[in-house]
Structure 1
Amino acid sequence: MAFLYGDIMKAKDEIKAGFRNIDRPGNLNAYNNVIEIIEEKMKDRLDTPLHLAAYFLNPYYSYNNDSIFTNELVMDGFITAVETFYHGDYDKQSKVLNEELPKFRDKQGHFGKPVAKEGCKKYDFDPEVNEDEIESEVEEATNEEDIDFESDQEDVVPLVGDDEQDGDNE
């Protein structure tokens, strides 16, 4: 999710550059129509405070573009996410917004370590790699013979082929 909002912003910039490079009447209207469609599809789906907070907290975007810290839409989304996450706990909200956020912005503490600074320079999100990792973890978890989610030690999830062995083919 941390790359989704940023990828959409990048796509909008690339679309804008593409329309600028085409020299013909009506480019502005065509560009506006395309951007309007994108924004309509994003509205209340991909522009939620959670998406904005993930975008904001992704060092690839925040450390490569200082304007993110002054972008009103992004900051409002981040603050709303903090208020929601720590609902009613004003001490925690204050700590995140007034103590932790400046450390993040200024790359202090853990955020200033060489591994953190180097890690934000490279766009390393690959959904296919992540999808493969998740699929293999799910396969490993579901193929284990000792799946037991109840305290009575009986299998809750029948193993593949168990129903055929019991003669129970329904």
Structure 2
Amino acid sequence: MRSIAAVFAAALVLTGCQSVRDRFDGPQPNPGPCPNALSLYDAHRLVEFSGEERVLRNVGFTGEVLNVRSACTYTDSSASPIDMQMAIRFAFGRGAAAQGSEKTYHYFVAVTRTDRAVIERQVFPITVRFPPGEDRVELTEEIGSITIPRAEASTSGSNFEVIVGFELTAEQVEFNRSGLRFRVPVE
């Protein structure tokens, strides 16, 4: 019994060594950090209203960026870009004033110099279908390749940010900035 346990333990140790060896012999880690990927506070949620009054019964469709995840790869060329992949998790809602069971939302992805100007900005549509009887849907959108330009090899990913958010009207941005939230009335 002890010999079987010793063989099993040796196999586990060798398996562990193999995976560590593969890790060190495999692709090298990035020479620098990935750019920050985040949602813009002013544009991280969308609330549509029907009518002038900002009350729960007038809420139509809603959307919120729940999470932004990313990974990146530096390439060997001295002035080559950083290639970034992202996954954005959204939550969508259908309020009492919503018309229909389908809505196309628009969100943007912008590459910026950290705390500076926008380098590139693209808008993407996402169509959400609410199943019968459902008023909430969560979806994850994956963006396979975002190219972040670098002037030289020493330019770090920490010099850039990738920001996501909804395309909003001025009124919707003001509503987000106000910090207002709805409380469901309890009867």
* TM-score normalised by structure 2 residue count: 0.20
> Which structure has greater helix proportion?
1
* TM-score normalised by structure 1 residue count: 0.21
> Which structure has greater strand proportion?
2
